[in-house]
Amino acid sequence: MKSHTPNALASALRAFFSEHMPSTRGLSPNTVQSYRDAFVLLLRFLAARRGCEVVDLELEHLTPENLIAFLNHLETDRQSGASTRNARLAAIHSFTRFVALRHPEHLELCQRLLAVPTKRARLRAVEYLEAHEIRSMLSSVDDNTVDGCRDRALLVTLFNTGARVQEILNVRPIDLQLDRPSQVRLQGKGRKERLCPLWPQTANLLRRFLDKTNLTMSSTEPLFRNHRGEALTRFGVRYLLRKYARLGLAGAPSLKKKNVHPHVLRHSAAVHMLQAGVDLVSISHWLGHACIETTNRYAEIDLETKRAAVTRAGPVVQETEVLSAWRKDKSILEWLESL
């Protein structure tokens, strides 16, 4: 069997994924996996384009021309949108800057790669759920069972905090403070921590859910777990959301027209806060946005939606409801796939 001595590309990739991303930059596992996926696609594309094996690829093969061809391949052959194209390019640009520091003999190539621009992406309208749609989904949850109690607590916590799904899935009982003032400690992008207030109803739901499990408030196990006792995944949350959106159709037929995905509750929380008169800076801090520009998109709700929101006085849900109103030695490719 032919053996290969790691070349500059393979060595740089290993160092980038094993050291630079997790240790030097402290990036989250999700970001590492996203970058890994970009390079799996890139390496396969370059190997096919050159008619060679991935293990035979050299750093010099990553030219601006090949990079542009790869980006076009994403859009035409894989039907990726501009935002996905830009995310893949951002991963490659990050690696390129790392290579420029680690292998300055390739600085000129790196500068040319970094000159490949992102593509202007059309901002899609913010998808969010109306108050009655959220109420209908929640009313379809049978919280007399452990799973139902978990699901209701999960959905309400997602909406209360407006947190990213992975932030909630990373929560442990030790991160909760259920006595007044109720709050939860969240770890966001870049491992930045923030405290988010909890409604009294949310705290009561979480307390009730904990009573049905073998978890204590000092536990460092994941709070939201599946039948195997493992942390729920984003795919699991997607399944649950679609399930309750389907069950909630009886009370809110408009849910049939909504794409209910994990991020939609985050959008919903932001929009409802905006409609309640909360300023964008506060919403930005609440959601853990790195810059206010990210939050500004929520201010682009059309005027009619804003006008309608003004006429809908009162809380998102009634006081009798649980929701309250606002406030792993392998080829480089195999190695990447094993991350």
Residue 135 counted as domain residue: yes
Tell me: the pLDDT tens digits for 266-288?
A: 888 888 887 777 777 777 777 77
- The CATH code of the domain that includes 149 is 1.10.443.10
Residue 326 counted as domain residue: no
Residue 324 counted as domain residue: no
Of 122, 154, 182, the domain-final residue: 122
Per the annotation, the verdict on 189 as an active-site residue is yes
Contact between residue 170 and residue 223 where contact means Cβ atoms under 8 Å apart: no
Catalytic residue among 103, 189, 207, 258: 189
Q: Do 118 and 136 belong to one domain? A: no
* Domain encompassing residue 221: 131-311
The pLDDT of residue 263: 86
Sheet holding 183-187, edge to edge: 176-177, 183-187, 193-197
Residue 327 counted as domain residue: no
Q: Do 151 and 272 belong to one domain? A: yes
Helix (H, G, I), strand (E, B) or coil at 21: helix
Residue 204 counted as domain residue: yes
Q: Do 24 and 172 belong to one domain? A: no
Contact between residue 65 and residue 98 where contact means Cβ atoms under 8 Å apart: no
Of 122, 156, 185, the domain-final residue: 122
Task: Please give the tally of structural domains in the chain.
Answer: 2
Q: Do 15 and 107 belong to one domain? A: yes
The pLDDT of residue 7: 86
Residue 284 counted as domain residue: yes
Q: Do 295 and 179 belong to one domain? A: yes
Token digits for 189?
């992008």
Contact between residue 28 and residue 189 where contact means Cβ atoms under 8 Å apart: yes
Q: Do 174 and 89 belong to one domain? A: no
Which residue is listed with tokens 């060595």? Answer: 11
Catalytic residue among 36, 164, 267, 272: 164
Catalytic residue among 35, 128, 244, 298: 298
Q: Do 147 and 63 belong to one domain? A: no
Contact between residue 136 and residue 252 where contact means Cβ atoms under 8 Å apart: yes
Helix (H, G, I), strand (E, B) or coil at 197: strand
CA 134 – CA 123 distance, rounded (Å): 25
Catalytic residue among 207, 208, 263, 297: 263
Q: Do 103 and 190 belong to one domain? A: no
Q: Do 135 and 207 belong to one domain? A: yes
Separation of CA 9 from chain center: 29
Q: Do 276 and 167 belong to one domain? A: yes
Residue 335 counted as domain residue: no
CA 40 – CA 115 distance, rounded (Å): 22
Per the annotation, the verdict on 164 as an active-site residue is yes
Which residue is listed with tokens 């999700």? Answer: 30
Contact between residue 274 and residue 283 where contact means Cβ atoms under 8 Å apart: yes
CA 100 – CA 103 distance, rounded (Å): 5
The pLDDT of residue 339: 66
Q: Do 152 and 103 belong to one domain? A: no
In this structure, what DSSP letter does residue 231 have?
B
Per the annotation, the verdict on 298 as an active-site residue is yes
Contact between residue 119 and residue 82 where contact means Cβ atoms under 8 Å apart: yes
Which residue is listed with tokens 């049905």? Answer: 212
Of 88, 122, 156, the domain-final residue: 122
Question: Which stretch of DSSP H or E encloses residue 224?
Answer: none
> Which amino acid is residue 9, in one-letter code?
L
Q: Do 97 and 172 belong to one domain? A: no
The pLDDT of residue 86: 94
How many CB atoms are located within 10 Å of the residue 115 CB?
A: 9
Of 113, 106, 103, which Cα lies nearest the Cα of 46? 113
The pLDDT of residue 278: 76
Encode the chain (339 residues) as per-residue pLDDT tens digits.
455 567 889 999 999 999 999 888 888 788 899 999 999 999 999 999 999 999 999 999 999 999 999 999 999 999 998 989 999 999 999 999 999 999 999 999 999 999 999 988 776 677 889 999 999 999 999 989 999 999 999 999 999 998 899 999 999 999 999 998 999 999 877 677 888 889 999 999 999 999 998 888 999 999 999 988 899 999 999 999 999 999 999 999 999 999 898 888 888 888 888 777 777 777 777 777 755 556 666 666 544 455 555 455 444 444 445 444 454 455 667 767 766
Strand 193-197 to strand 176-177: parallel, antiparallel, or no bridges (unpaired)? unpaired
Catalytic residue among 20, 36, 88, 266: 266
In this structure, what DSSP letter does residue 322 have?
S
Question: Which stretch of DSSP H or E encloses residue 193?
Answer: strand 193-197
Of 261, 254, 275, which Cα lies nearest the Cα of 136? 254
Residue 328 counted as domain residue: no
